[in-house]
Every structure is written in C-alpha cells, then in structure tokens.
Amino acid sequence: MDQLLVALDVDTAADARALADRLRGVAGGFKIGSRLFTREGPGIVEELAGRGDRVFLDLKFHDIPNTVAGAVAAATRLGVWMLNVHASGGSAMMRAARDAAHQEAARASRPAPLLIAVTMLTSLNQQALSDIGVIDGMAAQVGRLAALTEASGLDGVVASPHEIDIIRRRCGRQFVIVTPGIRGATDVKGDQSRTMTAAEALASGATYLVVGRPIIAAHDPRAAAERIASDCRSALTS
Ligand code: C5P
C-alpha cells in the first residue's frame, strides 16, 4: 500500500532491517527518524534506499539556511525519497533546502526527493502552543505555515489529520500531506494528542500516512500493517 509509511522507531540497524524485511510489500516506504539515525548513522538509510525501499528521512532540519542546505544535499546523496525541515525555520531556509535538493539530485542524475515541512508537531495541543507564545489557534497556525511552505516551493507538509481540511483549502490538490498521529479506535494514544484512524485520515485527503507504534509495537507487525492497509483500501474505494 503506497500510502502507508512505517516509522522504524527502533534503536538498531538490525531491528530496522528485520522490520523492513517483514513489512516490505505491505508498507509503501519506511521512515527513519532521529532515534535510529543518531544511533546508527546514514548506513541504514543507504542500505534500505539501495535495495529499492522508499526512505523518508525524518530529521526535521531546523537551522540557518546554509546549514540546512548542506544537510539536505547530504541526505539527497544518500538516495532518500522524502525528507523534511521545520516550516517555522522560515521561507529563506525552506527555499535554500529546496534548491539544495534539486541541485544535488541533478548532480547525481536522480529525481529530487520530495521535500516537505513540519507545520506543528502532532504531540502539541492548544495549551502547548500558547506555552511557546503562539497566540493563534492551532488551525490558523498550521494553515499559515502550510501556505508559507507552498510559497517557498516545497512539495508538501507533515500535519495532524485534523488539519488536512484547512491545508487542502489553502494549498490545493497536488500539495502532499503526510499525516502521523494515526491510531485505531482501541490503540493507546501515547504522546500523540490529535489522532485519527488511517481510513479517516485518507478519506479526509491525506496523501501519505506515517504509522509507528500501532505497527512496530504490535505482536505481529505484518498482520497489523495488513489490517491498516486493508482499512485504507476500503476508505479509498468507498
Ligand atoms: O508511533 P507513532 O505512530 O506515534 O509514530 C509517529 C511517527 O511520526 C514518529 O516517528 C514521530 O516522530 C513522527 N512524527 C509525528 N509528528 C510530526 C512529525 C513526525 O508524530 N509532526
């Protein structure tokens, strides 16, 4: 299922490789985030990309434009399929990231990776937003950052499923929306506060879903992924 990206939030390359081997064919790609990357480095990214897996490198770069451009160029050289920066890093930073991805991909004669921006982390709620000094509501802030992302030439955003509607209204049908915060009705929410089921998120217009613990912490990860993929297929055909 193309739309289902599984977060390989594990500590070792061996665990990541084992999960990828079990989930290949059901998952449409694998997300490697700061936990695994900090522990194992770029080798596991290159390894999975080298076997043809779509790798979403979720390091959420957030720094001055020159530094982010260098990091994005390095990630592009690893062969990632998708990567991200924080939209709150601003337009100059996002444009520098986009230019770096395109230039590096052209140099390596490969397609540019999808470059998306994080709007607001899905673990944040309204109170957390006001704690960091954002006085607008969540939807307004997400809409503003999504519009800035599109104007900066990026391909899309990461956002809670609850914000898909406002993003679609501001950014149009081609804009990629990647949604974490996916939980089944009976799943533990953990630190995610704005959740939806996979089928609901797709029906609402998400382009890709990122699912971590409901799959990787399941007794049988492949069966859990198959269940979610099958829910997604029903949502897409109904
Ligand atoms: O385990 P769970 O399904 O909550 O995993 C969601 C994944 O998506 C985690 O790897 C988390 O870092 C990531 N993510 C997120 N919210 C964002 C961006 C990425 O939860 N805004």
Query: Which are the contacts of 209, defined by CB distance < 8 A and separation ≥ 6?
Result: 3, 4, 5, 178, 179, 180, 182, 198, 201, 202, 228, 232
Q: Which domain holds residue 133?
A: 4-237
Nearest Cα to Cα of residue 115 among 56, 31, 180, 170: 56
pTM for the model:
0.94
Is residue 60 annotated as a catalytic residue, yes or no?
yes
Atom 8 in ligand 1: which residue has the minimum CA distance?
A: 180
Q: Is the dihedral of CA 49, 54, 59, 62 positive or negative?
A: positive
Atom 20 in ligand 1: which residue has the minimum CA distance?
A: 180
- What's the mean pLDDT in 166-192? 87
Which atom of ligand 1 is nearest the CA belonging to 33? 10
Residue 190: per-residue pLDDT = 77
Where residue 185 sits, what CATH number does that domain have?
3.20.20.70
Contact 87, 94 (CB under 8 A): yes
pLDDT tens, 95-151? Answer: 999 999 999 999 999 999 999 999 988 788 889 999 999 999 999 999 999 999 999
Report the alpha-carbon distance of residue 30 to residue 211 in Å, rounded.
10
Residue 238: per-residue pLDDT = 72
Residue 125: per-residue pLDDT = 87
pLDDT tens, 83-94? Answer: 999 999 999 999
Q: How many domains, in total, are found in the chain? A: 1
pLDDT band at 198 (very low <50, low <70, confident <90, very high): very high
Residue 192: per-residue pLDDT = 67
